[in-house]
């Protein structure tokens, strides 16, 4: 076993505390993070904006899609408010941005808001 030399008592104390922390706190998350490649979308919310958010992920099995296929998907995913009243509290789409990645998959960002 290798002997360690510490210049100060504080350095020794820090070493012990770090060792104890590593034993009690695992590096792995407590729950599995869903994979974006399985079609599981993730959501990003701005803490200062309670009326909008962004869903992002990959379009599943989109390696062979043309730009026209992607535009059809965008039209299907677009959410419109059809209520004749203001402040219907329905979710609607602000925009959808997509990008063809070097691996062939298409990633997207779906910007959504609430009609308030």
Strand-pairing partners, residue 114, are 91
Q: Tally the domains of the chain.
A: 1
State the 10-residue block means of pLDDT for the chain, 116 residues long.
Answer: 76 86 72 71 86 92 92 94 81 94 91 90
pTM over 0.85: no
**Could you report the per-residue pLDDT of 38-57, keeping only the tens digit for each?**
778 888 898 888 889 999 99
Residue 68 belongs to some domain of the structure: yes
pLDDT at 42: 87
Residue 1 belongs to some domain of the structure: no
**Could you report the per-residue pLDDT of 70-80, keeping only the tens digit for each?**
999 999 999 99
Domain around 103: 36-114
């Amino acid at each position: 076993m290798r002997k360690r030399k510490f210049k100060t008592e504080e350095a020794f104390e820090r070493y012990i505390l770090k060792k104890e922390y590593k034993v009690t706190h695992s590096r792995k998350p407590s729950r599995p993070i869903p994979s974006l490649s399985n079609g599981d979308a993730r959501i990003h919310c701005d803490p200062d904006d309670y009326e909008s958010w962004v869903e992002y992920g990959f379009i599943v099995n989109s390696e062979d899609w043309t730009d026209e296929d992607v535009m059809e998907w965008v039209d299907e995913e677009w959410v419109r408010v059809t209520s004749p009243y203001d402040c219907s509290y329905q979710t609607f789409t602000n925009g959808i941005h997509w990008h063809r990645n070097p691996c062939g998959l298409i990633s997207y960002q779906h910007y959504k808001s609430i009609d308030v």
